[in-house]
Structure 1
Amino acid sequence: MNRMIRLSVAAAALSCTMATPVLAQDVTVSSDELAAMRAQLQAMNARIDQLERELATAKQVNTAQDEVIAANSAAAESAADPVVEELAKSDGWSFKPRGRLMYDAGFTNAPESTGAADGFGNEVRRARLGVSGDIPGGFGYKFEVDFAGNEIDVADAILTYGDGPLEIAIGHHNNFQSLEELTSSLHTTFIERAAFTDAFGFERRIGASVAYEAGIVLAQAGVFTDNFDDTDTKNRGVDGRLVIMPKMDDAQLHFGGSVHYNDIDEVGGTVRYRQRPLVHFTSERFVNTGNLGAESEFGLGLEAAAIAGPFHAAAEGFWQTVNMPGAMGDPTFFGGYAELGYYLTAGDTRGYKAGKFDRTKPSSPVGKGGIGSVQFNLRYDYLDLNDAGILGGTQNGYLASLIWKPTAYVLFGVNYGLLEYDNAVIPTADGDTSYSVDAFGVRAQVDF
C-alpha cells in the first residue's frame, strides 16, 4: 500500500471529525473521543506497515522460487540426453544397466588379381549388455558381455575399490597401453582404432591394477595374465602408464607414456602381428608377420593430445620388440598415427576425462532445437611390420571420417580409408606387393 492511499485514509478521517459540528450542531466531540479516534488511526497505520512488510517478504519468496524454477529449466534444456539412471541406491548400494549396439556396413576394394575377398560387408560390431554400480565401503563393480559375431565374449568384469585419488581394480579389464586403446569405442573418431592397437594385440586381460590420479597427474600400473579366451596360457605381463594433463587457458593438453612387458612362459610360444584395412567386417589382412617364436615381448609407447574448443589433435607412437629364442635377431615393429579433428557445429568440443577421450555432448541436440554435433576428422595411420628379416609388410593409411551425433547417446559415422601397402603378404598375379586398397564404412550406434 503506497503513501497516497495512507494520506487519503487520514484525510477522510480528519474531514469526518471536522464536519461533525457543521452537520450536527447538537453533537459534541469530547477530547477523549478525539484521542480514541487518533489512536485508531495510529493502529490502522501500524497494521498497514505490517501488511506492507508481509507483502514485500512474499514477493521476495516468489521471486526466489521463480529464479530456481528458471535455473532448473535452463539446466534441463542444456543437459545432454538422460542415460538410464541407477535403479536402486540405498545404504551405499547401486545398480545401473549398461549397453551399446553398433552396426557397421561398407565395402573394401583390393586389386582383383590378389584374389582377396572384397566388396560389400556388414556386421553387428558390438552388442553389449552389462551392469555397474557401487557397493558399501568404497567398492564398485562392472560386468559387460558382448554378443556380437554369434559369440559371447566378456568385456569388463571387475571389482574396484576407491579411496580418494586411489583406485584398485581386480578382474578382466584393459591394460595401460595407449590413449587410443583406453578411449572407449563409443568415443573414438573412427569406427576402428589405430592399426597398431590391434596389430600388437592390445586387449583386456585378467589381472590386478592400481591407478592414482591427483591434479594433473595420472599413474596406472598392473600385473596381468591373459584374456578370458586364453586362460590356459602361462603368459604373465606387467603394464604401466603415466599421464600429465595440464590446462593452458581453456585448452586441455595431454602427454603420456606407457610400458608393456609380456613373458610368454611356455615351450614353443608364439606371437603374431597383423591388421585389417580400416574396417572390421573384412577378414583380409594385407600385413601379417605370421607366427613368430617368442619368449617375451616388450613395448614402449608415447602419446600426446590437445583439445581447444571445436579443435582437437592427437598423436601416438608404439614400438614392440619380440624376444625370439636362440640366435635369431629380435625384431622391433612400429605403429603410430597423427590426427586432426574439428566440430562444424557451434559450441561443441571433444570430451576428455581421466587421461582419455570421453563423451561428446552436443550443445544443441535434436529434440531441443538443434541438429546435434557434426565432427570432421583426418588421420594418417602407419604400421611397419618389417624388421630383422621379418617381412610382414607396411601399411600407410590416409583416413577421413564424418561423425553426426544427434544426441549424446546416438551416433552415425561415415569413414573412408586409402590404404597403401609395401611388402604386402598377398601379392598380385604378377607378384606385385605394392598397391593400394580402398575401404569405406558407415556405423549406426546407440548406448545407454
Structure 2
Amino acid sequence: MKYRLLHAALLLALAVDARADSLWPPKASFDDGSSLSLMGAAAYDFNRVDGHGYPAGAPLQDNDDWRRSELGVRYSRPGVLDLAATYDFNSDSWLDVGARIETRAMFGRDLGRVRIGQMKTTVGLEGNTASRSIPFMEFSTVTQAFFENRRVGVDWTLERPQFLAVASYFFKSDIDADNDGDTVGARLVWTPRKQEGDVLHLGLSASRETPDSGIARWRAKPELSLTAARLVDSGVIEHVDNIQRQGMEALWQRGPLQLQGEYLRQRTRRQDGFRDYASDGWYAMGSWLLTGESRPYAGANTSNPKPVRDSGAVELLARYSDLDLDADGIAGGREKNFTVGVNWYLTAYLKFVVDYTRVDARRRGQQADPNLLQARAQLHF
C-alpha cells in the first residue's frame, strides 16, 4: 500500500507541474553546451475482461496496477556523445544503458552514429518504438512473439535524407544475462518523403541469433497489459542451432493521418536431425489525430504528438494483428486480434489511453475469444 501511495503521490505532483513546459524534463545545463537531465515514465493500468482463456488454463482476470515505473539519467553533449541509463522499478530490470558517439566529432565528417551498451535489437519497427510512445496499451502479438528485445552490444547507424542504414552485433543477452548468445542484424529504411507531417517509410530488416542455451520459445500475451497468460505458445523448442528473423515495414503519414504495418517471420534452425520450425505474423494499424497534430518522425520512428491546444490532442486508432504459430509439427496456435482505441494527450508529458480488443485465439482444438477493455494514465518526461 505504501508503494502504491508513493507512486500515486509522485504521479499527481508531476502531472500538476507537467503543464509548466519550462520545468520538464528536469535538466542542468553547462557552459560547454552539455546537459544532465532526468528521464522517467509512470503508467497505471486498468484491465477489464469479458470472457476467459482456454478451459485448461491461461485465466484472464480484471486487474489494476502499475505497468511501468521508469527512471533514468542522461548526459548529452550535442554533436559529440550521449550517455544514458534507465531502470524500470516495476519489472526490476535495466532498460537502455550505454553511450552513443557521433563520428563527426572524431573524424570531422558524419560517418554515422555508434552506440555501445544495452539497447533494442534491429528487427521490428513497432518493437523499436519507445514504450512511452506506442499508440496502443501494448505491442501487437506479432511484435511480442518475434521481437528479440534488448541485448548488449554495438550498433552503427547512418542516416541521410532519403535512407537510414543500421548494422548491429550483440554479444550478450542483457545485463541480467537471461539468455546469452550472439546476434548480428541489419536494417535498411528508404524515406522518399520525410518532412513534418509528410512521411513515406519503407524498410527491410534481418538478423541471425545463436543462443548459447540451444533453446527457443515463441509466444505472446493477448495484448492485455496486466497478465502473464499466453493464448498462443510454441512451447520450448530444443536443439536450436540458430534463429533467423526477417521483417518488412511500412509507414505513411499525411498531416494528422498515419498508417503503419509490418510483416515479421522467424525460422528456428535445429540440429541433431530435428526439423526446423518457421512461423510468421503481421499487423496493420491506422491513427487519426482529430485535433490536427502529426506524430513527430525522427530516426525512422514516431513518438507522441505534442498538443497545440490547451485542451490537449485527441487521437483515434485501430489495429488488426494476425499471429500464426502452427507450423512444422508444432501446434503453437493462431491468434487474430482487433483493437480500437482513443488517446488523449493532455500535455506533452501526460496522456490517457483507452483500448478495446476482441481476441480470437485457437490452439490444439481449443478456442478463446475474450473481449478486453483497458485504460492507462501515463506520465513521461
> For this structure pair, what is the TM-score category when the shorter chain's length is used for normalisation?
0.7 to 0.9
What per-residue deviation string (whole Å, max 9, x for no partner) do you get for residues 410-431 of structure 1? 100001111101225xxxxxxx
Q: TM-score when scaled to structure 2?
A: 0.87
Check conservation: 1:166, 1:212, Cα contact below 8 A. yes
Whether contact under 8 Å (1:352, 1:359) holds in the other structure is no
Alignment match, 1:195: 141
Instruction: Decide which of 12, 21, 29 is 1:88's aligned counterpart.
Output: 29
Normalized per residue, which structure has more strand?
A: 2
Once residues 114 and 233 of structure 1 are traced to their aligned partners in structure 2, the CA distance between those partners, rounded to angstroms, is 29
Residue in structure 1 matched with residue 323 of structure 2 by the alignment:
383
Q: How do residues 168-179 of structure 1 correspond to structure 2 at under 5 angstroms? A: 168-179=114-125
- C-alpha distance in 1 between matches for 2:187 and 2:372: 33
Tell me what 2:188 maps to.
242
Change (3 A) 1:385 1:139: same
Larger Rg: 1
Structure 2 counterpart of 1:15? none
- The answer on 1:401 being equivalent to 2:341 is yes
The answer to whether residue 182 in structure 2 is matched with residue 209 in structure 1 is no
The equivalent residue for 2:242 is 296
Q: CA RMSD in A?
A: 2.1
Residue number in structure 2 paired with 1:224: 170
Letter in 2 for 1:363: V
C-alpha contact (below 8 Å) 2:263/2:282 kept by paired residues: yes
- Could you give the per-residue CA deviations for residues 164-207 of structure 1, whole angstroms, max 9, x where no partner exists? 35110000011111110111112111111121222125211100
Cα distance in 1, alignment partners of residues 300 and 77 from structure 2: 25
Question: Which one of 323, 333, 342 corresponds to residue 288 of structure 2?
Answer: 342
AA paired with 1:194?
A: S
Q: Following TM superposition, by how much is the alpha carbon of 1:234 offset from its aligned partner in structure 2, in angstroms?
A: 4.1
Aligned 8 A contact 1:165 1:214 in 2: no
Which AA in structure 1 matches 2:298?
Answer: K
In structure 2, how many angstroms separate the alpha carbons of the residues matched to 1:304 and 1:287? Answer: 26
Matches within 5 A, 1:42-441: 81-82=21-22, 83-108=24-49, 109-110=51-52, 113-135=55-77, 138-149=80-91, 152-162=92-102, 163=104, 164=110, 166-228=112-174, 230-231=176-177, 233-247=179-193, 251-266=198-213, 269-293=214-238, 294-345=240-291, 347-364=292-309, 366=310, 371-423=311-363, 432-441=365-374
SS of the residue 1:186 aligns to: helix
Matched letter for residue 236 of structure 1: D
**Aligned equivalents of 1:96, 1:337: Cα separation in 2:** 36
For residues 29-52 of structure 1, the C-alpha deviation after alignment (integer angstroms, 9 at most, x for no partner) is xxxxxxxxxxxxxxxxxxxxxxxx
| Native 8 Å contact 2:318 2:341 kept in 1 | yes
Asked whether the 8 Å contact 2:162–2:194 carries over to 1, the reply is: no
- Aligned-pair distance for 1:344? 1.7
Contact 1:201–1:273, Cα closer than 8 Å, also in 2: no
2:123–2:147 contact (8 Å) kept in structure 1 = no
Higher relative contact order (CA 8 A, sep 6+): 2
Structure 1 residue runs of 5 or longer lacking an equivalent are 1-78, 425-431
CA distance in 2: counterparts of 1:352 and 1:230, whole angstroms: 32
Structure 2 unmatched runs, 5+: 1-18, 105-109
* Distance in 2 (alpha carbons) for counterparts of 1:193 and 1:286: 15
241-250 or 168-177, which deviates more: 241-250
Q: 2 CA distance for matches of 1:120 and 1:270?
A: 33
1:261-316 deviation line (CA, Å, top 9, x unaligned)? 101235xx211111111112112111001100111100110000111111110010
Query: Aligned residue for 2:380?
Result: 447
2:334–2:362 Cα contact (<8 Å) kept: yes
Percent identical residues: 28
- Cα distance change, pair 237–223 in 1 and its aligned pair in 2 (3 A): same
Q: Secondary structure at the match of 1:198?
A: helix
Following TM superposition, by how much is the alpha carbon of 1:233 offset from its aligned partner in structure 2, in angstroms? 4.7
In structure 2, relative to structure 1, the CA distance for the partners of 1:436 and 1:168 (3 Å cut) is same
Q: CA deviation at 1:230?
A: 4.7
Match for residue 32 of structure 1? none
1:386-421 deviation per Cα after TM superposition (whole angstroms, max 9, x unaligned): 110011000000111110111111100001111101
- Hey, which of these two has a bigger chunk of helix by percent? 1
Report the counterpart of residue 5 of structure 2 in structure 1.
none
Alpha-carbon distance between aligned partners in 1 of 2:182 and 2:124, rounded to the nearest angstrom:
19
Counterparts of 1:373 and 1:253, CA distance in 2: 23
